Structures are given as structure tokens and as C-alpha cells.
Amino acid sequence: MLTQISIAVIAVAFAVLVFFLIKTLKAATVSLDKVTQTLQEVQKTIDELSYEVKQTIRNTNDITVDVQHKMKQIDPVMNTVKNLGEALSEVTYAVKEVSAGVVSKFRQSRENKSKSGSLPQPSSSAVTPSERTVQSYNAVYSDSSSGSTSNVSKWLNYVDAAAGIWNKFRRQKAR
């Protein structure tokens, strides 16, 4: 009878072991199902992100091509601006040289006139600022030829016209 009790205890222990083993396997199965579901969701998210990343890269490439195209279009403008800057620098230098020459000639003529003791009296007939400018120019660069007065007047008119055009151009660019 002891053998039968031992066999019965072994059978009950085996049944309990099988019961807990089945319970553990079911829990493992549930965990594996959850892991599988999570992996599927992760794969789906990765696929969506992969598509979005590809679209972003395509858009970035398009923008890069567009920027390169626009840079190629801007290059001639930048070269023109550079050339304009160089030209303005040369004009500024030339104006500086001319003004230095004018000042030195003015000083020389002033010294010559002060040495001679006679200062010419300004004409009271000059009314407009341009006529006064012509008279002052003639006083500094007095040539005995009468044609120089009309040349000076013409040049002053040209300078006035150029200054007016330049001001209109600047105002238009400012808008």
C-alpha cells in the first residue's frame, strides 16, 4: 500500500507540475503575442517614418537644386555689383583728384590776385545760383576766350541733369 500511496502522491505532484507548467506556458504565449503585436506596431511606425524621411530628403534635394539655380542667377548680379563698386571707386578717386586740382588752382589764382592787389568785383546781374556758379568758375578759371563761358554753362547744365537723374534713380530704388 505504501507503493500505491507513493504512486498516487507522484501522480498528484506530476499533475500539479503539469498544471503550473501549462499556466506558465500560457503566460509566455500571452507575452509573446504582446511582443509580436508591439513589433508589428514598431514596424508599421518605421515604415511610416521611412516614407516621411524619404519625402523630406526629396524636398531637401529639390530645395537644394532651386537654391543652386538661384545662386547661378544671382552670380552675374553680384559680378555687376562688384564691377559697379570698382567703377564707383575709380570715379571717387577721379573726383578727388579733380577737386584737389581745383583747390590748388583756386589757391594759386587767389595768391596771384592777392599779389596783384586787384580783386574783381562780382557782377550784380547774376541772379540764379547756376549763374553765380558760372561766374565763380570763370573767376577761378578765367580764360580770355569768350567761348569758355558758354562751355561752362553747358557743362553745368549737364551736371545738373545728371544729378537730377541720379536722384530720381535713388528714390526709385529706395521704394
Q: Where are the domains of the chain?
A: 129-175
Least confident span in 7-11, 52-56, 78-82: 78-82
Helix and strand counts by DSSP (H, E) for the chain: 3, 0
pLDDT tens-digit readout, 139-151 = 766 655 555 556 6
Residue of higher predicted confidence among 113 and 47:
47
What is the pLDDT confidence band of residue 120, given thresholds at 50, 70 and 90? low
pLDDT of 126 strictly over 50: no
d(CA 170, CA 45): 58
Whether the pLDDT of residue 125 is over 60: the answer is: no
CA neighbor of 137 nearest in space, from 161, 163, 102: 102
Contact 150, 134 (CB under 8 A): no
pLDDT in tens, 12-25: 999 999 999 999 99
For the chain, give the percent of residues with pLDDT over 90.
39
Name the residue with higher pLDDT: 162 or 64: 64
